[in-house]
């Protein structure tokens, strides 16, 4: 290059001093088209294609041939012009696709606060990840390695992920093509450790470790609460299936005596134009564990313990407790219904007691539940109602 510049300078001196035209043409043709082409000329599909700075050199101007704007590698024809002379050269360039083409554009997924297995599974754009249940919220960071695409949604903080849920991630390419990915987030159920009868789950005690095993009584007065628990294997022997007509969701079971008492009570209520149904009654230990640990993913344990029993500590496992419903309404809507008022007045006459009254939360350990009744037999229920006490107080006497 330096040599050529020297030659150009010599030529210019010659041009000034020499008077012969033939000699000038010959020399000029040899030296005037020195140029250098820019390397790696790459444009993106749809982008303004500008060849104004693709080469430098010793010429007056240049003209470019037709531009191929399709994706791929092309050669542009460039004609250099100087002093009426021309020289044609080929300049390679590339038009790059700006659309993600691979199905594997979601490069990685990170769940803050939880080390995601880098070998998360992917099948048909569905990713599955497993997170601990006690994660109340977490941040999803998605990544793509396509330079022409960006992740436009689906990242960010997820609050209360719940039991199992779906999370969507969208990648938008520069041409606005959108790629959807479904991330199915599973709750890890595997971290349950039994130490004798006491279970821990993801580091949480999910029984009350200082509780005692309940004494099973034959008179319907078995006490199950935060202090007394049932073994995981405890299943009442005389469960009967509640007639579908009398339950809201299906699947409800009660012990035979509790069921018979419920039917009698329901008939009495029907006689007054009410529709007294049940939502859930008997729940086994596993069901209660699922409920309880699901709540743990939404609230702190301190809060959960005010409204949900730890597995083994639920009266529902006795098969003598029900959450009542008004007609087709959910239990959450039970408070204040005609059925609710009727139950407050009449349930004891059929052997049922309101188990978690509004003014006894310090004794029962649970917030008021207008819908939760426990069958204990008519005599005891009526006596308890007369005394205005909880089962804890009643058995203490």
Please give the residue ranges that form the binding site for Zn ion (CB under 5 A): 323, 372
Considering the complex, state which of residue 133 and residue 372 has its C-beta at the smaller distance from Zn ion: 372
Closest approach of Zn ion to the CB of residue 316, in Å: 6
Considering the complex, state which of residue 297 and residue 317 has its C-beta at the smaller distance from Zn ion: 317
Q: How many helices (H) and strands (E) does the chain have?
A: 9, 25
Q: Residue 2: CB partners within 8 Å, gap ≥ 6?
A: none
Beta bridge pairs of residue 321: 374
Closest approach of Zn ion to the CB of residue 239, in Å: 16
Say how far apart CA 200 and CA 202 lie, in whole Å.
7
Closest approach of Zn ion to the CB of residue 309, in Å: 8
Closest approach of Zn ion to the CB of residue 361, in Å: 15
Q: Are the C-beta atoms of 349 and 382 separated by less than 8 Å?
A: yes
Q: Is 204 exposed, middle or buried (0-12, 13-18, 19+ CB in 10 A)?
A: middle
Q: Across the chain, which distance is largest between two alpha carbons, in Å?
A: 135
| Angular region, 132: left φ>0, alpha ψ -120 to 50, beta rest | beta
Considering the complex, state which of residue 138 and residue 371 has its C-beta at the smaller distance from Zn ion: 371
Closest approach of Zn ion to the CB of residue 290, in Å: 15
Q: Which residue is nearest to Zn ion (CB)?
A: 372
Order of strands, edge to edge, in the sheet holding 321-326? 276-278, 321-326, 372-375, 352-354
Considering the complex, state which of residue 135 and residue 291 has its C-beta at the smaller distance from Zn ion: 291
Considering the complex, state which of residue 234 and residue 324 has its C-beta at the smaller distance from Zn ion: 324
Residue 122: strand, helix, or coil: strand
Considering the complex, state which of residue 93 and residue 371 has its C-beta at the smaller distance from Zn ion: 371
- Strands 55-58 vs 34-37: parallel, antiparallel or unpaired: antiparallel
Considering the complex, state which of residue 43 and residue 262 has its C-beta at the smaller distance from Zn ion: 262
The CA R_g of the chain, rounded to the nearest whole Å, is 40
Considering the complex, state which of residue 360 and residue 372 has its C-beta at the smaller distance from Zn ion: 372
Closest approach of Zn ion to the CB of residue 321, in Å: 6
Q: Are the C-beta atoms of 392 and 225 separated by less than 8 Å?
A: yes
Long-range CB pairs of 49-52, under 8 A, 24+ apart, other chains included = 49/95, 51/76, 51/78, 51/91, 51/93
Considering the complex, state which of residue 323 and residue 380 has its C-beta at the smaller distance from Zn ion: 323
Closest approach of Zn ion to the CB of residue 375, in Å: 12
Q: Are the C-beta atoms of 220 and 375 separated by less than 8 Å?
A: yes
Q: Two tokens at 26?
A: 């010959």
Q: Any idea which residue has 């069921």 for tokens?
A: 259
Q: Are the C-beta atoms of 346 and 265 separated by less than 8 Å?
A: yes
Considering the complex, state which of residue 105 and residue 366 has its C-beta at the smaller distance from Zn ion: 366
Q: Any idea which residue has 């300049």 for tokens?
A: 91
Q: Residue 271: CB partners within 8 Å, gap ≥ 6?
A: none
Closest approach of Zn ion to the CB of residue 283, in Å: 8
Q: Are the C-beta atoms of 41 and 94 separated by less than 8 Å?
A: yes
Closest approach of Zn ion to the CB of residue 209, in Å: 23
Phi, psi dihedrals of residue 96, rounded to the nearest 5°? -100, 145
Closest approach of Zn ion to the CB of residue 289, in Å: 15
């Amino acid at each position: 290059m330096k040599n050529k510049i020297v030659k150009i300078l010599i030529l210019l001196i010659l041009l000034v001093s020499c008077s012969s035209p033939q000699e000038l043409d010959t020399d000029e043709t040899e030296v005037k088209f020195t140029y250098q082409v820019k390397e790696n000329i790459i444009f993106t599909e749809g982008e303004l294609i500008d060849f104004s700075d693709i080469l430098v050199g010793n010429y007056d101007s240049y003209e470019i041939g037709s531009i191929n704007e399709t994706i791929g590698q092309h050669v542009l024809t460039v004609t250099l012009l100087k002093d009426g002379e021309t020289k044609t050269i080929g300049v390679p360039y590339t038009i790059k696709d700006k659309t993600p083409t691979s199905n594997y554009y979601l490069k990685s997924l990170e769940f803050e606060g939880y080390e995601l297995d880098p070998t998360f599974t992917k099948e048909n754009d569905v990713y599955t990840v497993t997170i601990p249940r006690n994660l109340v919220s977490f941040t999803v960071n998605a990544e793509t390695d396509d330079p022409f695409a960006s992740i436009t949604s689906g990242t960010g903080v997820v609050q209360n992920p719940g039991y199992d849920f779906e999370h969507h991630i969208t990648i938008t390419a520069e041409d606005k093509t959108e790629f959807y990915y479904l991330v199915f987030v599973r709750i890890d159920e595997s971290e349950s450790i039994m130490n004798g009868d006491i279970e821990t789950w993801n580091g949480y005690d999910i029984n009350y470790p200082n509780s005692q095993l309940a004494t099973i009584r034959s008179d319907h007065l078995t006490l199950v609460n935060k202090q007394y628990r049932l073994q995981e294997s405890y299943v009442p022997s005389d469960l009967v299936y509640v007639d579908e007509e009398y339950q809201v969701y299906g699947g409800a079971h009660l012990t035979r005596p509790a069921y018979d008492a419920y039917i009698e009570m329901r008939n009495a209520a029907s006689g007054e134009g009410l529709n007294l149904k049940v939502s859930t009654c008997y729940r086994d230990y596993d069901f209660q564990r699922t409920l309880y640990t699901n709540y743990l993913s939404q609230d702190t344990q301190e809060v959960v313990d005010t409204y949900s029993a730890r597995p083994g500590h639920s009266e529902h496992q006795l098969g003598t407790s029900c959450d009542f419903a008004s007609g087709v309404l959910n239990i959450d809507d039970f408070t204040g219904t005609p059925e609710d008022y009727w139950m407050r007045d009449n349930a004891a006459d059929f052997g049922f007691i309101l188990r978690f009254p509004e003014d006894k939360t310090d004794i029962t350990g649970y917030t008021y539940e207008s819908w939760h009744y426990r069958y204990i037999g008519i005599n005891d229920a009526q006596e308890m109602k007369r005394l205005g006490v909880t089962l804890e107080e009643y058995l203490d006497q």
